[in-house]
Structure 1
């Protein structure tokens, strides 16, 4: 149990004990419980999922978000204090019962109002502020009503108790009115949202599903979709991810959590759906065979995720170069070749080539994370401190950019901290301008890191393939030596990079990278193989033109058969 929930629960138990033994310090225990409940709500960071419900987060929003927190503590306290109040004045027991009823009803109604089903399965970011305007105030009122009920019973009987009871009743009536009105009008709100979405006139949709912090998978494509002169909607299946993406774009973002909501959006004249990952929820749309389904993925690498057999279920796969097609066939996944379209990888268009180097070189170290499953763990971070130390020993300036998901693993998070401490100590001792940590992430994109560097060290991910566009030297630590493709006569990433195994001596490997006397020609051939036969000038236009062509060719006419 989280500490913010455990502390009020413990204090609630203390109140129960105090009421049972008729302790003289009961009133102080009650006050402490109420203060703890309110302070916890005000101090607890609002989750991304909750932020999607209350766009304007302030004290009221925080109280609303925490309205259901500490429910067990509130119920324990209300029950124990009801018995205590009845003991103190049996002739007024009906009043004590009424206060208990108000407190319990406030907690229960707030809990119900925060359930996903009561907020609806279809939401539009353009409506979120207006629709949610009264809800935070209502939930905050219910939260404070429960706390006031506890104070009333804790100070029972007497004038203060009556004041707290009156406050509890008034707050409950206000909160209940707005929450119940919203619950009763759910169908009205949903139909209003549906009509707003229909009014957008979207020609295509982008679908994304995933855990929190997955928005980068979409964000890598958004600037390119924005260049199309076509209306579209972004369909998101999870609340936390919906909140993230609403902050990324002004384009229409639709939260569609159920199959019914998905079908409502698809029935609005959408002809093509683009996907940025292979989430299981993609099948909820793929089942609509009348539409055209295009998989983009969000990176290109030799990881299994870039050759997932489920990719065969899409009508078309946009890939950067011939390497992506061969990767499937090399692994026995025989997707018809006419499903593939080579469009380049437009995200690399802003990556610049090598610049004359005067003095020590700057190297970007960009390791991947350990993946959701063990067979996708290619992270070199366990050896990261050794790699960075070898770079420092060579006099290099280091840009350290770990994968955003690295903090999901306690071990990798410790590796990141160790590397950051190493760089901070060296910067203090030598004055070298190493870049790392939250400030670097806030100020520099991955492309910025590439452009600021003279070479890169990474592992098996999309990073080395993207870095090929720069023609700068690349070093890869193969945590699993059977993953990188090695085929005689083929310009693979393995043939164009300086490779090392986890047990190798890191220092000579780093020295070969910095000297770069062996592989310039191989990198140029690998660049075309992985990133397409397109020149630097107008590189991203090939992808944008392909998008436009697909949307135009698959305009949906007629009605979507929702019975299919």
Structure 2
């Protein structure tokens, strides 16, 4: 069995390498057909070292970045070929493809990058940290009470843009000797000012249930995904009801670690297709599109795992339930909203219609959320978060000018040639 397993791994590695090589050739061909980036033009770089499987992390920032770019030109510095190809295909932001550190160095040398934004904690972020005289800022790709939100990696960045007071308190409980007042800047969730899309069905009298599970996680402490434990029973109950409509929006990484988790995901997708074939009026939805917003507004109740989707829904001021992780090793932070959440246990998943009816009939379900919304996001009036995001970037640019003027004439320094060679 070991030989077979090793063989499969070798095939997978080779397949991935060939896919990456083809993607790199495509990216270079596309960029060669475009005008070159103007020299000394960009002021803000979004560093993205991931492939296309994690595009959800950067896509949600496209529209807020477009607003920033009206004042401070923005470019995505992409290190991975499949990720760069996906961003080029989206066509939302300028792209610089820099697969090696030499490429990064050449690009940095031709531009005037003053702020570098990071949407995740990819280990290759460290390769960008070597470049001083610019601010390195973690902006993340969501707000949640997952353990990811308190990693000690926050300390690697000059600043972190956080959603609100809840994030500040969360970091304060976990990180030692971390200057929250100086290094965190509250901006709310500017993505919420740009929610998009429209329901792909005709609204009727059906109760709409959004089920948006996260992926399975790569370690026991992060086993928040519910597709295997809750999902199939939950979906079966909703699909069997003529009075309900299911919107199923699984995390795009579902199944990347656990094949059985991916198989359960595919069975739910197949069940939705079968239900729609049996009753076209049902109009159940398997949602794998990048647009986010209409789902949160259209659903009468949302069922989500411990993930950023909890807080996206929370900001919509609409009833929601949170799946309780079946793995007792999964870390659950009950200092915040999760201490007051409506939980759905795996054993109750088949009774989801009764559980959601109970939540929907609770007159206090929405009013209880209002205080939590303020705690997590601050002012959620339209445009308020976008204004704070823009103000935070402006402030860093002002700080950059002050430090730059104080250090004029001092050499920045170069890395050794051997250290630069990461091809």
Q: Which TM-score band (shorter chain)?
A: 0.7 to 0.9
**Contact 2:117–2:138 (8 Å) recurs in 1:** yes
Q: What is the deviation of 1:216? A: 2.1
Question: Which residues in structure 2 correspond to 1:81-120 (within 5 Å)?
Answer: none
Question: Which residues in structure 2 correspond to 1:129-278 (within 5 Å)?
Answer: 129=33, 196-197=36-37, 199=39, 201-228=41-68, 229-249=71-91, 251-267=93-109, 268-278=111-121
Measured against aligned partners, the alpha-carbon deviations of 1:403-459 in whole angstroms (never above 9, x if no partner) come to 11114232122212222233333334444434334xx434x7231222221110011
Secondary structure, in 3 states, of the residue corresponding to 1:476? strand
State yes or no: 1:418 paired with 2:267.
yes
Match of 1:376 in 2: 222
Match of 2:251 in 1: 403
Measured against aligned partners, the alpha-carbon deviations of 1:506-554 in whole angstroms (never above 9, x if no partner) come to 5143332333344222211111111123423544322233223323432
**Contact 1:200–1:231 (8 Å) recurs in 2:** no
Secondary structure, in 3 states, of the residue corresponding to 1:242? helix
Secondary structure, in 3 states, of the residue corresponding to 2:185? strand
State yes or no: 1:561 paired with 2:412.
yes
Query: Taking structure 1 as the reference length, what is the TM-score of the superposition?
Result: 0.61
Match of 2:337 in 1: 493
Q: How many residues are paired up?
A: 386
Secondary structure, in 3 states, of the residue corresponding to 2:53? coil
Match of 1:95 in 2: none
- Tell me the distance in 1 between the aligned counterparts of 2:259 and 2:285: 19
**Contact 1:48–1:243 (8 Å) recurs in 2:** no
Secondary structure, in 3 states, of the residue corresponding to 2:302? strand
- Structure 1 unaligned runs (5+)? 7-45, 56-122, 131-192
Q: What is the deviation of 1:247? A: 1.6
Q: What is the deviation of 1:462? A: 0.3
Secondary structure, in 3 states, of the residue corresponding to 1:415? helix
Q: What is the deviation of 1:282? A: 1.3
Match of 1:361 in 2: 207
Q: What is the deviation of 1:560? A: 6.2
State yes or no: 1:316 paired with 2:145.
no
Q: What is the deviation of 1:301? A: 1.2
State yes or no: 1:52 paired with 2:24.
yes
Secondary structure, in 3 states, of the residue corresponding to 1:273? strand
Q: What is the deviation of 1:286? A: 1.7
**Contact 1:49–1:241 (8 Å) recurs in 2:** no
- Structure 2 unaligned runs (5+)? 1-6, 13-17, 197-202, 416-423
State yes or no: 1:514 paired with 2:369.
no
Structure 1 vs Structure 2 CA RMSD: 3.4
- Tell me the distance in 2 between the aligned counterparts of 1:484 and 1:530: 17
Match of 1:441 in 2: 288
Decide whether aligned partners of structure 1 residues 202 and 421 sit closer, same or farther in structure 2, where only a CA change above 3 A counts.
Answer: closer
Question: Which residues in structure 2 correspond to 1:317-356 (within 5 Å)?
Answer: 317-338=160-181, 339-350=183-194
Question: Which residues in structure 2 correspond to 1:294-313 (within 5 Å)?
Answer: 294-313=137-156
State yes or no: 1:455 paired with 2:297.
no
Measured against aligned partners, the alpha-carbon deviations of 1:270-300 in whole angstroms (never above 9, x if no partner) come to 2111111111111122233322111101111
**Contact 1:206–1:234 (8 Å) recurs in 2:** yes
**Contact 2:206–2:244 (8 Å) recurs in 1:** yes
Query: Taking structure 2 as the reference length, what is the TM-score of the superposition?
Result: 0.80
Q: What is the deviation of 1:503? A: 3.6
Secondary structure, in 3 states, of the residue corresponding to 1:398? strand
Secondary structure, in 3 states, of the residue corresponding to 2:373? helix
Match of 1:84 in 2: none
Measured against aligned partners, the alpha-carbon deviations of 1:112-147 in whole angstroms (never above 9, x if no partner) come to xxxxxxxxxxx7x874337xxxxxxxxxxxxxxxxx
Given the alignment, which residue of 355, 376, 393 partners 1:547?
A: 393
Match of 2:237 in 1: 390
**Contact 2:172–2:180 (8 Å) recurs in 1:** no
Measured against aligned partners, the alpha-carbon deviations of 1:465-500 in whole angstroms (never above 9, x if no partner) come to 01112111010012057644334xxxx322453112
Higher Cα radius of gyration? 1
Q: Which of structures 1 and 2 has the larger relative contact order (alpha carbons within 8 angstroms, sep 6+)?
A: 2
- Tell me the distance in 1 between the aligned counterparts of 2:40 and 2:282: 48
Given the alignment, which residue of 94, 109, 127 partners 1:284?
A: 127
Decide whether aligned partners of structure 1 residues 421 and 243 sit closer, same or farther in structure 2, where only a CA change above 3 A counts.
Answer: closer
- Tell me the distance in 2 between the aligned counterparts of 1:563 and 1:226: 32
Decide whether aligned partners of structure 1 residues 523 and 432 sit closer, same or farther in structure 2, where only a CA change above 3 A counts.
Answer: farther
